[in-house]
Amino acid sequence: EIVLTQSPGTLSLSPGERATLSCRASQSVISSFLAWYQQKPGQAPRLLIYGAANRATGIPDRFSGSGSGTDFTLTISRLEPEDFAVYYCQQYGDSPPYSFGQGTKLEIK
């Protein structure tokens, strides 16, 4: 089973700044089946990025994903107040089991 490790655990930034979140896999993620989700308190996760670099429907272009193999990155180019939340990466290859990272909390500095 692939283990995903996210860093940092907490990221403190100000609105307008750039955020860079990392996700490292214990083995290569097949066909870049890597997704990023945003979760706000009391809400279900929302898909942001799939296939490592594709934005989901309705996701603003300030969110971008990159990477392949075992190293992936979520970048938020200019933070808006509504972007402060917890972010999870996930691998979702052809067959389960699937796995999630432990999350990065993006908080207002």
Partner 1 sequence: QVTLRESGPALVKPTQTLTLTCTFSGFSLSTDGMCVTWIRQPPGKALEWLARIDWDDNKYYSKSLKTRLTISKDTSRNQVVLTLTNMDLVDTATYYCARIVVSPIVSAFHVWGPGTMVTVSS
Q: Name the residues that contact partner 1, by CB under 8 A.
A: 1, 31, 33, 35, 37, 43-47, 50-51, 56-57, 88, 90, 92-103
Q: Cα–Cα distances in Å, from 41 out to 19, 46, 47? A: 20, 12, 15
* Closest CB 94 distance from partner 1, rounded Å: 6
Instruction: Judge whether 36 and 49 are in contact, CB under 8 Å.
Output: yes
Shortest Cβ distance from residue 89 to partner 1 (Å)? Answer: 10
User: Closest distance between partner 1 and the C-beta of residue 41, in Å?
Assistant: 10
Q: Which is nearer to partner 1, 78 or 98 (CB)?
A: 98
65, 68, 69, 73 alpha-carbon torsion, rounded to 10°: -30
Nearer to partner 1, 28 or 102 (CB): 102
Nearer to partner 1, 19 or 50 (CB): 50
CB nearer partner 1, residue 12 or residue 102 = 102
Helix (H) or strand (E) holding 98: none
Distance of alpha carbon 19 from alpha carbon 10, whole angstroms = 11
Task: Supply 38's token pair.
Answer: 């945003």
Q: How far is the CB of 93 from partner 1 (least distance, A)?
A: 7
